[in-house]
Amino acid sequence: MSILISRMTAVQSPLIPIVGELIRTHPGTISLGQGVVYYSPPPEAIASLSQFLAEPNNHKYQAVVGIPPLISAITTKLKVDNHIEINDNNCIVVTAGSNMGFMNAILAITNPGDEIIIQSPYYFNHEMAIRMASCRPIVVATDDNYQLQPLAIANAITDKTKAIVTISPNNPTGAVYSEAALREVNKICRDRGIYHISDEAYEYFTYNGVKHVSPGSFSDSSDYTISLYSLSKAYGFASWRIGYMVIPKHLLGAVEKVQDTILICPPVISQYAALGALQVGRKYCEEYVSAMASVRELVLESLKNLDGLCTIAPADGAFYFFLKVNTKLDSFELVKHLVKEHRVAVLPGTTFGMEDGCYLRVAYGALQEETAVEGIERLVRGLEIILSHNI
């Protein structure tokens, strides 16, 4: 019997479960791998579940784009926090996390064979989604500090290009893109008649006075800017699967088709929890980001011991550092050594598209200060030992 090759053969396997299995088989390992926060949703989010339970109709399907009270709360949040006005040219769609928002956007704007420009190192789920849609990811390198290179991006555009993707604050690098660079990319999209997909899942996670900027707030950008947001990080909502997107109104019909087919409607109980969280607002997140900033400084201090062994680029956002390791070791082999011999886990740069050299993503958001410091000390000690032996 002949077996037809599926489009999925071109899609990389998710590496987080593979590293997770390594961690499970080596008890006591501290994970600096997965990008989650250490704190839980606000009590107001849990309290709002009683409102969900009080209405029997909530157990039935609800609106494809989200329940009206949540749409209203998001509208207010966007205006206050992102300076994005919902008008006649754009609209909100609630999604099951911002990954779904990205998939909605790709399926809505492309045909098979189209191209989407992403930056390297890229967020692996974006690259995977593009390939799943039978489209081609066009990878454009960032500079040595992982900042955008608008000229290189413009030069990568072809007649098959449908969108440019930016992630700021960035996963996996922690870089925060300047307003000037984002404006330049947004203008390129306008001038070339393509979309700007802006992933802003880490919007509140910035440090050293650096400010996050939403391209959707730029004047006259509503017709071609797609903005993606998530509650997973800011409100400790990872498993609740709630995000939202701001899209040009002319894409609503296409996005509704995708969402209705895959999801029917976002989980309504999670939407009620999200409503409770947004009523508290970003002040809930800011308390924890302040604590995370202290952990970040401790992590940076420990990483200084790797001077000469690793290059650490500035990272003023999210909760990641992206290390370039001065070794000929394959990054996944290095990760396996770190787990097996030093009981600390990080993610290899290859899963983020970095094949030329050895890179590691270090995540510090999931751990309390004491555990994070111990994890970083294990990482530093492990790298010193492994690299000194030239394994």
Domains of the chain: 7-41+283-388 (3.90.1150.10), 43-281 (3.40.640.10)
> Could you tell me if 166 and 119 are in contact, meaning their C-beta atoms sit under 8 angstroms apart?
yes
CA distance 228 to 200: 6
pLDDT of amino acid 389: 79
| Confidence (pLDDT) at 74 | 98
Q: What is the pLDDT of residues 318-327, one digit of tens each?
A: 999 999 999 9
326-382 pLDDT, tens digit per residue, is: 999 999 999 999 999 999 999 999 999 999 999 999 999 988 888 988 999 999 999
Question: Can you give the pLDDT at residue 189?
Answer: 98
What pLDDT does residue 3 have?
59
- Residue 390: the pLDDT is 61
Which segments in the chain show pLDDT lower than 50?
1, 391
CA distance 88 to 253: 15
Residue 152: CB atoms within 10 A of its CB come to 14
Buried b (16+ CB within 10 A) or exposed e, 178-196: eeebbebbbebbbeeebbb
pLDDT of the residue at 1: 47
H/E stretch holding 273: helix 268-280
The predicted pLDDT at position 368 comes to 85
Model confidence over 201-225: pLDDT tens digits? Answer: 999 999 999 999 999 999 999 999 9
